[in-house]
Amino acid sequence: MLKKIGLDPFVLALLGMIVLARLFPGPGAQEGPWSLDRLASYGVSGIFFLYGLRLSVVELAGGLKRWRLHLLVQLSCFLFFPLLVLLCKPLFVGSSWEVLWMGSFFLAALPSTVSSSVVMVSIAGGNIPATIFNASISSLLGVFITPLWMQGLVRAQPGGHELGPIVLKLVLQVLVPVIVGMLLHRWGGGFAKRHKRVLKLFDQTVILVIVYTAFSVAFEKKLFAGLTAGMLAGLLLAMTGLFWTILLFIRTVCRWLHFDRADTITAIFCGSKKSLVHGTVLSKLLFAGNPQVAVLLLPLMLYHALQLVMASILAGKWNREANKQTV
């Protein structure tokens, strides 16, 4: 019912976690071996194990043929996106907007999202095998490329760390579970596909806990005191502009390369979307010890909501156009 009126239940749940953190920050800000923050860290490995369990090496290998499409998507995610935000840095250095710019740069360095990209491409009539390939490869590449982009910024922040230990944590907590899951795909892949709704709930629950703990710490330390309604409105406009700039760039390149309709749709959805799962997970590792992690997640959360709404509108529009052509 919520989806029919344009509201995504998960986005509402995210907003609910922020409200909960504002009203009851204590449980989320608590530290210790059995704290919510520590349990969420274990959940992170579970997310990526299940992600690997769903990945088919055969399907990935079969998607290698359309190399120009794959190259465009990955360059959009990991090069054009970050460079575009990086060019804006001089406008915000030394101002109260600097932390929001850093959160935007973190968003720009993230990989594409898998599940929603596949859904939107399916609705719009795009190339589904290529979508699965690109979104999956992007997720794996992000384990290494996102920390590389963030290296200088992370070290300059409160509680910043060197890149080496961060990559080691990512390998142990993210990459190893993915590889183990992929190795077990032959035996557990069918189970993962049959119970994908339940497993999706597990993924979302871990994300909600991470968001709740991050915002609990932020409210406890009064880190949002400097954020005004004008700044939040400006951030919303910036994220909207970022989405459409990337989308128009990809569409233009697709025309230059003479992509067909299906490949163009795949390139647009895979190249313009960012993964909230990876963002919340990587924020725990990249910004460990940084009390501003909740503020840094604001651009990602806004962009996530925007990309769901805008991508749904576009997918519906292209689906109607395709149906008219077949009548």
With 60 as the cut, is the pLDDT of residue 23 above it?
yes
User: Which is more confident, 167 or 23?
Assistant: 23
**Arithmetic mean of pLDDT over the chain:** 80
Alpha carbon 180 to its chain's center: 22
Per-residue confidence (pLDDT) for residue 5, from 0 to 100: 46
End-to-end CA distance of the chain: 29
**Which band of pLDDT confidence, cut at 50, 70 and 90, is reported for residue 307?**
confident
Q: pTM for this one? A: 0.76
Query: What band does 105 get if pLDDT is binned at 50, 70 and 90?
Result: very high
212, pLDDT greater than 90 = no
Show Cβ contacts of residue 229 under 8 Å, excluding neighbours closer than 6 positions: none
- Give the residue-averaged pLDDT of 101-113: 91
State in words which class domain 30-318 has. Answer: mainly alpha
Tens of pLDDT, residue by residue over 248-262, are: 999 999 999 999 998
Domain boundaries, the chain: 30-318
pLDDT of residue 109 exceeding 70: yes
> Is the pLDDT reported for residue 162 higher than 70?
no
Place 160 in a pLDDT band, splitting at 50, 70 and 90: very low
